[in-house]
Amino acid sequence: MKSLKIIGLSFFGLISIGSYAQEFDASLQLRPRFEYRNGFKSLIKDSEDATSFVSQRSRLILNFKQDKLKTKLSLQNIRTWGDVATTTTADKNAIAVFEAWAQYDFDTNWSARLGRQVISYDNQRIFGEIDWAQQGQSHDAAVISFHPKNNQLDLGFALNADKENLVAPTTPYTTNYKSMQYAWYHTEFSKLNMSLLLLNTGYEYAKTLTDLKVDYKQTFGTYLSYKENKWDTNLGLYAQTGKSSGQEVSAFNAGAYLGYAVTAKFKAGLGYEFLSGKDQNDSSTDFKSFTPLFGTNHGFNGLMDYFYVGNHINSVGLQDAYLKLNYTHNKWQFNLIPHVFSAPNMVLDASNAKMDSYLGTELDFTTSYALQKDITASAGYSQMFGSTTLERLKGGNASNTNNWVWVMVSFSPRLFATK
């Protein structure tokens, strides 16, 4: 209740200064989502049963602009229906700050943004908002941007700690990266867009019980996209070097997509992605498995999140060949994406014999309908047809029906705006 009072006072305080502000707007997002999980993220075991629940995001977004100053405050509550009693006096997750930043535009080309903010670039493979997750993803960072016509250079910096310490901690900071620096450059050549990324992330670990170290891993690469008439294609190439927990890192990622608009309503495309991994009989201590870091991984490699969504890290890698079909009609949109997964590196069975590289096939079907400008209903059905090799990697039983169903409604009304 105290938090709600503070938010309310802040909200009305901003309204009261509206006469001095050039622009101010407030919007709301309410997003309840039902899910039925029966083998989601991992093959379901014979001893397990399916589960279902409703989660909800409730987000209040305030934007303010005056002369060269821009600010944004986004507050949210993430809940599962029923995670607190109907007569509760306190919320389980309370209210959290999703975004809280201030930006100053030095001129038309230069700006700087400080505070909690979303960092998202290109197809969100390395940096993304992860909007599917009810909590999303944002960073405490400083970003300097130079953006003349058809070009943009962003320089980002972050330094993290678990609290305001008086002396150096004796236990490693493991909640997040310890520090981050990156440079992202984007340019446009007529119908071709090109981005270059250089990212340096430092993670703290205990080398000994009394010696804390920070190892730095570098992720660098390019993303190209090209659109002309009915064709839509993109290519992403990334590599990782440096160190992690005292060990060398050597990994890479490549992804390509070719799409074609068959008609004004129907589009089809073929895609392929390769993420490096490590043979299970490789005795090297080097990290050879690519990590997508801060990407919106739910949007890649199948919607059932079997790979790289809090799992499959430092594993045998992944090959993902997929077909993307999209059909739109009036306010309706339909998508069907079949994926064929395989392991690019060796998987061994219980007797250390090499297993087949085929992991499984996943079918993802989604649909959405725009009821009106600020209300969208969407739903999806996915099913994984796993192999014995996938069983070996993730456990569970591939012979069981492994599927996932979800239904979501998003309400995004603009409460008011003033100039």
Residue in 146, 161, 64 with CA at minimum distance from that of residue 111: 146
pLDDT value of position 21: 47
Asked whether the beta carbons of 199 and 185 are under 8 A apart, the reply is no
How many other C-beta atoms lie within 10 A of the C-beta of residue 115? 19
Domain-wise residue ranges, the chain: 22-418
Alpha carbons within 13 angstroms on the beta-carbon side of residue 390 total 27
User: Model confidence over 122-174: pLDDT tens digits?
Assistant: 999 999 999 999 999 999 999 999 999 999 999 999 999 999 999 989 899 98
CA separation, residue 402 to residues 41, 43, 77, 187 (Å): 10, 6, 31, 43
pLDDT value of position 256: 98
Handedness of CA 386, 388, 389, 392 (dihedral sign): positive
Average pLDDT for the chain: 94
pTM equals 0.91
Query: Which residues of the chain carry a pLDDT beneath 50?
Result: 1, 4, 17-19, 21
Query: In the CATH hierarchy, which fold is given to the domain comprising 22-418?
Result: Porin (2.40.160)
User: Model confidence over 382-398: pLDDT tens digits?
Assistant: 999 999 999 999 999 99
Per the structure block, which two tokens stand in for 362?
A: 């996943």
Q: In whole angstroms, give the CA distance from residue 109 to residue 11.
A: 31
User: Model confidence over 59-106: pLDDT tens digits?
Assistant: 999 999 999 999 999 999 999 999 999 998 899 999 999 999 999 999
Per the structure block, which two tokens stand in for 149?
A: 């016509």
Residue in 326, 323, 305 with CA at minimum distance from that of residue 382: 305
Q: In whole angstroms, give the CA distance from residue 39 to residue 254.
A: 28
- 32 contact partners, CB below 8 Å, separation of at least 6: 54, 55, 56, 81, 408, 409
| Per-residue b or e along 16-44, where b marks 16 or more CB atoms closer than 10 Å to that residue's CB | eeeeebeebebbebebbbebebbbbbbbb
pLDDT value of position 419: 85
